[in-house]
Amino acid sequence: MQLFDRTLGDWLEYWAVETPNNEFIVYSDRNLRFTWSEFNERVNNMAKGLLAIGVCKGSHVGIWAQNVPDWMTFLYACAKIGAVAVTVNTNYKDHELAFVIENSDMHTLCITDGVSGSDYVEMVYSLLPELKSTQRGRLKSERFPEMKNVIYIGQEKHRGMYNTAEMLLLGSNEDDKEFLSVKDSLNCHEVVNMQYTSGTTGFPKGVMLSHHNIANNGYLTGEHMKFTQADKLCLCVPMFHCFGVVLAAMNCLTHGCTQVIIEKFDPLITLASIHKERCTAVYGVPTMFISELNHPMFNMFDMSSLRTGIMAGALCPIELMRNVCEKMFMTITSVYGLTETSPGMTQTRFDDSFEVRCTTVGSNYEFTEVAVIDPVTGEICPDGVQGEMCCRGYNVMKGYYKNPQATSEVIDKNGYLHSGDLGVKDPDGNYRITGRIKDMIIRGGENISPREIEEFLYQMPGVKDVQIVAMASPRYGEDVAAFVIPHANTDITQEDVRDFCKDKIARYKIPRYVFFVNEYPLTGSGKIQKFKLREMAIELCKEQGIEII
């Protein structure tokens, strides 16, 4: 195995020459297909279109969309001109979108109509009211002075916005000179993607990832599953996450294979696409595999073409992995890491035993040093002794955007990135995750910062104090529980809390469980004992007859 010094654009052009007529992107539900050559030409026109509206090397371009056909067109178009694709969580509401636009110094935002319960067009107009009265390309936003363009991904026309057809037409009429000049100036170690992660505390931070980071992480991920050009990966996880854009898309990019994309995860469309296209691999978080296996029409589809895939994003139950292996004919692997490590740090291999693949997160990626470090002494722990999972190597992020202090807090003087997760290494070199130092909530693969929700709920009338903790969930791995101390003489209900959150923060962040208390359990030094709150949450559910789902 080796590391490659290619940009994403280099990889795309490599396969467009080597296998121009092979299928690269397929949407089976609408029979939309792009060969490597066709897609590369579309990307080139989009890249020139972006240059024509003022996007340049170093510009930050937001992509706020589900896995629509042109999601990847914008990703690779940005990559070819040195712009940075800022992936925006599709569940965000205007409060969160505004934060990302401002924090990332976003220059251009690409959007679709939205998702259920979220009208992206209206949200953008509410944040950028000047769009409705400004000629396209001449936006001057009082609130977001860096923002210059909004692009609607589709054919419809919206005031003040470009659309996809116009961008492609603009690009096809542009001279190649500027495009080729900027493309030739690129370096694989430059930032190409910025993803916002909740990190250990506070509001999300922009993780800066280079071509070298993500292309090589995707390549090695595929090698661990023995990927070749003959493979077809069913990509049904969101591309705004590293799971989708790196472990899936970068795997396909570097192995020259086909990606069969699902716009929004639906178990029936996923099963039908695997069946029709004879997919050889599929990824998902545990809940996705559960919904596929339990679908009433599961037995109508032929899964025998499948051979491998990844189950990640949450604790993977052994019985579920066994069912996936037996009923979907897959040698399933798992990946452990975080956005800051591009994301893979360890992975189980295709040739590992079933026990290793079920009970560990595998061994370290090649060219990556993984160490279990004692959080108190800073010494590397011997095998079998619990410590913090840390790593250094090609996959470590370039840093947090505009936040050198936060960067220095997670990358130590020896170059190790500290995950905040606890783990142990066994004598065979495989790792097990045993807990977390930080109190991040991971709900079905979504990272949720308790502090972010706490800061938001402090704004609610009647709330004196609030603490957010993780609640063990059979369905999601973890879910959000809120402990609220109300002001005296106020009458707040659980539904009041949820209603206050509705349409203001992403749905997955809204507390499913709300408990009202008079005080919190404290340490001798006055610190809140969140582990006791987690224990209390389970007991209170039992006492109040609340079902934990």
- DSSP for 92-118? --HHHHHHHHHHTT-SEEEE-SEETTE
The predicted pLDDT at position 314 comes to: 62
The predicted pLDDT at position 137 comes to: 85
Tell me 416's DSSP state. P
Helix (H) / strand (E) containing 534: helix 530-544
CATH number among 3.30.300.30, 2.30.30.40, 2.102.10.10, 2.60.40.2470, domain 441-544:
3.30.300.30
**Out of 204-208, 233-237, 461-465, which region has the weakest mean confidence (pLDDT)?**
461-465
Q: Whole-angstrom Cα distance, residue 510 to residue 430?
A: 36
Is the CB of residue 87 less than 8 Å from the CB of residue 195? yes
The predicted pLDDT at position 201 comes to: 47
pTM of the model: 0.85
Tell me 545's DSSP state. T
140 class by beta-carbon count within 10 Å (0-12 exposed, 13-18 middle, 19+ buried): exposed
Is the CB of residue 531 less than 8 Å from the CB of residue 450? no
Token reading at 28: 């089976």
Per-residue pLDDT tens over the stretch 249-307: 999 999 999 999 999 999 999 999 999 999 999 999 888 998 999 999 999 999 999 99
Per-residue pLDDT tens over the stretch 1-42: 899 999 999 999 999 999 999 999 999 999 999 999 999 999
**Out of 65-79, 136-150, 195-209, 368-382, which region has the weakest mean confidence (pLDDT)?**
195-209
The predicted pLDDT at position 198 comes to: 66
Per-residue pLDDT tens over the stretch 442-451: 888 887 878 7
Q: Give the helix, strand, coil percentages of the chain, each rounded to 5.
A: 35, 25, 40
Q: Whole-angstrom Cα distance, residue 147 to residue 60?
A: 9
Largest CA distance in the chain: 72
Mean pLDDT of 128-146: 94
Token reading at 250: 């970068």
The predicted pLDDT at position 202 comes to: 57
Q: Whole-angstrom Cα distance, residue 225 to residue 349?
A: 6
Residues ≥6 apart with Cβ < 8 Å to 199: 205, 400, 406, 410, 449
The predicted pLDDT at position 199 comes to: 47
Q: May I ask the CATH architecture of the domain 6-22+31-186?
A: 3-Layer(aba) Sandwich (3.40)
Range with top average pLDDT, 264-268, 321-325, 468-472, 484-488:
264-268
Count CB-CB contacts under 10 A for residue 77. 29
The predicted pLDDT at position 376 comes to: 79
Query: Which pLDDT band, with edges at 50, 70 and 90, does 454 fall under?
Result: confident
Handedness of CA 71, 77, 80, 81 (dihedral sign): negative
Per-residue pLDDT tens over the stretch 227-260: 999 999 999 999 999 999 999 999 999 999 999 9
- Domain borders along the chain are 6-22+31-186, 441-544
Per-residue pLDDT tens over the stretch 147-201: 999 999 999 999 999 999 999 999 999 999 999 999 999 999 999 999 998 644 4
484 class by beta-carbon count within 10 Å (0-12 exposed, 13-18 middle, 19+ buried): buried
SS3 304: coil
The predicted pLDDT at position 458 comes to: 85
**Residues of the chain above pLDDT 70, percent:** 97
The predicted pLDDT at position 200 comes to: 40
Query: Which pLDDT band, with edges at 50, 70 and 90, does 527 fall under?
Result: low
Direct distance between the N- and C-terminal alpha carbons of the chain, in angstroms, rounded to an integer: 43
Is the CB of residue 61 less than 8 Å from the CB of residue 78? yes
Is the pLDDT at 530 greater than 90, yes or no?
no
Q: Whole-angstrom Cα distance, residue 448 to residue 480?
A: 9
Is the CB of residue 435 less than 8 Å from the CB of residue 421? yes
